[in-house]
Each structure stands twice: as C-alpha cells, then as structure tokens.
Structure 1
Amino acid sequence: MDSTPHGAAVTAAGFGLKGPRGWAFRNIDLAARPGSLIAVQGPSGSGRTCLLLALTGRMKPAEGTAEVGGLPLPKKMAAVRAVSALAHVPGVSELDPALTVGEHLRERALLQGRFGGSLRALLRPRRERRAEARALVDGALEAAGLDPESLPKGIRTSVRDLERLEALRLSVALALVGRPRLLAVDDTDLKLSDEERAAAWAMLRGLAAAGTTVLAVCSEPPEGGKNLGEDLVLVRTGDRPAPASGKAAPTALVAPADTADAAGPEGTADTAGPEGTADAAVEGDARPAADGPGGRAEGHDDEEGAADAFAETGRA
C-alpha cells in the first residue's frame, strides 16, 4: 500500500467491465494522485456509474488493471471498499425521504461507532466516544457545506423537504463520517442550476484540496476545465451504451490535467454487472457504515454512546 496519510492514489490501465448486454466501459486509463478531483463525464447509460462502482470495489472488472491507494483490483476489492465511501448513488446509497436530517446523522454515527473503529476504541469511556461521534459529524457537515440551522426545521427537516443541492451535501456529509480516502459521488450535477452546479463543484474541490481523493460522475465537467488546478483528472465515457450484440462500446477517453506514475497489477476477473446499471452486481460492503443509510440501524439505542452525542445537543 502507499504511505500517503489520507487521500488514495487512483490508477487504471485498460480497465473495463462487461455485462450480459456488452461492455459497460472499456479501455479506461487514468492516473490520479492523492487529493485529486476525478471528474467522470458522459451521458446517462455510458457506464459512468459502473466505472464509479468498479473503482470503489463494488463491481468486478472484466479486463485491465487498477489500484486504489496501492490496493489492486479486483484482488483487493474488500480492502478498497474499506477505504472508500459512496454518496448520492441511486439504489446503493440513497437518502431515505421519510427520515429527518438528524435521524440520518444519528444512524450514520451509530454505524460508524459499531463498525468503523477498532475493538480498543469500543472499550473507551462513553464520554470519549460521544465526543468523537459529535466531532466526526460536525466535521463532515462543515466539509460538505451543510449548516443544519439554515434548514427550514433545522436538524428535524425531512429529507423530502431538502433542496437538491442540500440533499447532495447531506449525502456527502454522511459518507465523510467514515473518513474515507476515496469519496465517490454519483450524478453530481443532475438537475442543478448553473449556480448550484458551481457550488457543488466548489464543495468537491474543497474536499480534494483538504486531502480526500474525490471521484465525481457528471454530465458536464467543472467550469474552467484544466484551469481548475493541476490535480483535476477528466475521464470521458462512451457516448452510447454497448449494443446488445456484445460489441464493445466506444473507447473511453482520458484527459488528465496532471498524472502520477503508476503501474497496475496483473490479473483480471471474468464476471461483472450489466452495462449501464449501478446495482446489478454490487459487491457486499465489508463496512456497512461506509455507504450511508442503506438499511436501518435497529436495536442500537445504547450503541457506544453515539446517539447521546445528538440527544444532548438537540440533534436527535
């Protein structure tokens, strides 16, 4: 593994994923240093989400090589899942519209306390665990640019009442609670106005500048292209889905603004999910806390004191 303290380097060579209807994507080459912003651009159905899931260890590639933080894919898929987190991925890490912002944050803190730490951490005094849970959530909210006090009902605002950009920020904040080295965000600019799109990219650029490697799927790249900085890597997927005959989709183009030297491990896998789908072959996550509230955390009212961090501060 590489020795970088936080962000994960991401590299790929001839990377491809094939499903029953053909290639979701193929011939992906990229090299991104830790703390880079990787923008995956392409139309819907071009394999963007599949590439995101493959690079985070959730889908098994069919050809080529890739590494995340020095961990080879597909050999170390579980380890890659442990250092990455998903945000805003339909069908995988969606927000529950019936829950409030506070309930999402409380649940995420409970999961992080149960699955995201060491056994030694679980044995610490409850007061210390409460303080750590609160600090994690506060830091994640600040990094995502979401101020609960600015919401219509504060922390008790339902997800269904959030604006599109606010929901994106909440999803990113939930993913950041796990302190991932690689943050993957799907549909970054979907249904956002120009002003909201600029704000979303500013948030992601800020996360990358702080050291977290960010992989963001979009229909349009950030404004300014390469002028955004030397650590912007632009990956373009094909302009149409793979045909039913199984012929390869158009070769993906990669235009890194700056790249790092990398060489992926040998070895490929032979199974993958169908083209253009996000959830057909998603691997089980070794860390249930990594991808936000995919399922409810039931029966953990006293879980490591994390819930108290919100109850005592008016956040539950």
Structure 2
Amino acid sequence: MEGTPDQGAGAAVTAEGLGVKGSRGWAFREVALTAEPGALIAVEGPSGSGRTCLLLTLTGRMRPAAGQGSVGGFRVPQQMARIRRISALAHVPGVSELDPVLTVAEHLRERALLQRRFGDAARGLLRPRRERAAASRAAIDAAVQAAGLDLETLPKGPRTAVRDLERLEALRLSVALALISRPRLLAVDDTDLKLSDTERDEAWALLRGLAASGTTVLAVCSQAPEDAVVVSTRPVEADAEERAETHGPDNKDEPENEPESEDEDKNKDEEGAADALAETGRA
C-alpha cells in the first residue's frame, strides 16, 4: 500500500528547494537531494550552516519554511509524524544525547524499554512478559553488534559510564541505541567531530556497513567521503553577509526554530506523543 512504511527496507530520500528559516534568517535554503534506499547521505558544510536543521527536517522533527520532499514515501512537510516513526536519531546534541552518569548497560536497557512501551505495535504488548523481555534482549544484542560496540573491551564492560567512553565508543553506543527501533532512516550528527583520521575512517566504515545492509544513513560531517551522496548546506553568500551585518558571526549549528512537535494527523495524536517522548528522553 502506498505510503505505508516497509520495516525491512531503507527509506528513499528526496528534497527540492528545501529551506528552514528562523528569527535570524535562513538556516539553509534551496537544498536538493535524491537518494535511493540504503544510501549513505553526507550533509556537508561548516559549523553554523544549518546542517543539524536539515537533519532534523529530513527526520520529521523540524518543519521547513520552503520546499518539499519525501522520506520513505512520506511527504515533507505534510507527513512529518509518520517520518518520525520510521527514523531514529544518533548523537544529536541538544536533542538526543547520552547521559554521562549512566552506564552503557543502563542506556541500552532504557532505550529497549522505551521501544517496548512506545515503539512496538500494540499487538506486541499482548505477548507474555517473558517473551517481550527476550525480544528486547535480542534487539539490544543485534543493535550492539551492528554498531560494532564490543562491550567486553570497555574499561568496566557494560557497567562503564558514558563519561569514561572514548569518542568513537560513544558514537557507536549512540548508533546502537538508535538501531534498537530498527529505523529505515538513521541520522547521525557531528559524525567526524573530534575524531582522529583513523577513528574517522572507522566511523565511516560503520555507517557505510549499515547502509550496505539496507538502512538509509544520513550523516552530518565537515568533510564527506567520496562514495557518499553529498548534500551541502553552505549558506547563500548574500544571506551569510546579511546575518553577519545584523547579528554578528554565527558560530553555532543549532536549530533556528522549534523541532516539529505536533502530529499533523489528528487521529495520531497519541502516537506522535509517544514518538516525541521516545526521542527526547535520555538517549
């Protein structure tokens, strides 16, 4: 059926003339993109060029001011809540962050519980508790393996606190948490931030492998790999000059408007609330 998400397939992503505008002008504008299911999409640009805003827009969490697009057959901006339900965020500062005092195991258990409570189909809640717990453990194991996170090599194993993780390990944990919901579109912010050349290669190898397995991957970066579908958010020169003259330099890559929070489908209010809770809770 057209417009119905296919759980086992990545999401095709398109955009035409897409733009987000806030109180200080355009965060980005005139973005065009065409990517097949299972593509590795790199959002390339300098800090402050609206990269995170584009990531949030294409995952249904920020409404654009101009243009249109589609994710997995769902329309932007008309079906943003449905796009939220087929996408997941990994490491998006201010939106989906790791709690430094929680352990790796605690993060994984909490995300699995959120998925059981808010993400699984209603019929899944009717299964016996033991069966649901086994399914959660299996989902965690699969996600951890797909993210390449070796729990036994961590300083204290699964009981290692996030604050004691290396940057690449934290990135892998964020990806694992996002994969628990088996998204069709996985979005990762600041992919190459504070990584050495070797670590950067490992991070892209991870995302490339996820894309090869069928999940569409959308990754924000300062420099895209050659094999990625590249979309740039570099601001229009006139807009950049106007912002600089009016407000001074903008060194932050933060959303200029609030993430999408209202479900446009009136009969889906409760599901939209569940989505919001699952995504804005501790990641």
* Same-fold status (TM-score > 0.5): yes
Unpaired segments ≥5 residues, structure 1: 248-274, 296-316
Q: In the TM superposition, what is the alpha-carbon distance from 1:141 to its structure 2 partner?
A: 0.4
Q: Match of 2:258?
A: 281
1:75 aligns with 2:78: yes
Q: Match of 1:192?
A: 195
Q: Hey, what's the Cα distance between the residues in 2 that align with 1:103 and 1:280?
A: 32
- Please provide the CA RMSD for this pair: 2.1
Q: In the TM superposition, what is the alpha-carbon distance from 1:131 to its structure 2 partner?
A: 1.2
1:119 aligns with 2:122: yes
User: Which letter maps to 1:187?
Assistant: D
**Partner-residue secondary structure (3-state), 1:238:** coil
Q: Match of 2:147?
A: 144
Q: In the TM superposition, what is the alpha-carbon distance from 1:207 to its structure 2 partner?
A: 0.4
Trace 1:56-135 onto structure 2 (pairs within 5 A).
Answer: 56-135=59-138
Q: Does structure 2 retain, via aligned residues, the 8 Å contact 1:43–1:240?
A: no
User: Structure 1's 279 and 130: CA in aligned 2 closer, same or farther, altered over 3 A?
Assistant: farther
Q: In the TM superposition, what is the alpha-carbon distance from 1:294 to its structure 2 partner?
A: 2.9
TM-score of the aligned structures, taking structure 1 as reference length: 0.78
Q: Does structure 1 retain, via aligned residues, the 8 Å contact 2:27–2:235?
A: no
User: Which letter maps to 1:6?
Assistant: A
TM-score of the aligned structures, taking structure 2 as reference length: 0.87
1:11 aligns with 2:14: yes
Q: In the TM superposition, what is the alpha-carbon distance from 1:279 to its structure 2 partner?
A: 7.4
User: Which letter maps to 2:34?
Assistant: A
Unpaired segments ≥5 residues, structure 2: 245-251, 262-271
The structure richer in helix per residue is 2
Q: Does structure 1 retain, via aligned residues, the 8 Å contact 2:90–2:189?
A: yes
**Partner-residue secondary structure (3-state), 2:130:** helix
**Partner-residue secondary structure (3-state), 1:17:** strand
User: Which letter maps to 1:146?
Assistant: L
Trace 1:1-316 onto structure 2 (pairs within 5 A).
Answer: 1=3, 5-222=8-225, 225=226, 228=227, 232-238=228-234, 242-243=239-240, 245=242, 276-278=253-255, 280-284=257-261, 286=273, 287-288=275-276, 290-291=278-279, 293-294=281-282
Q: Does structure 2 retain, via aligned residues, the 8 Å contact 1:108–1:292?
A: no
**Partner-residue secondary structure (3-state), 1:291:** helix
Q: Does structure 1 retain, via aligned residues, the 8 Å contact 2:28–2:235?
A: no
Aligned positions, number: 261
Q: In the TM superposition, what is the alpha-carbon distance from 1:291 to its structure 2 partner?
A: 3.1
**Partner-residue secondary structure (3-state), 2:34:** strand
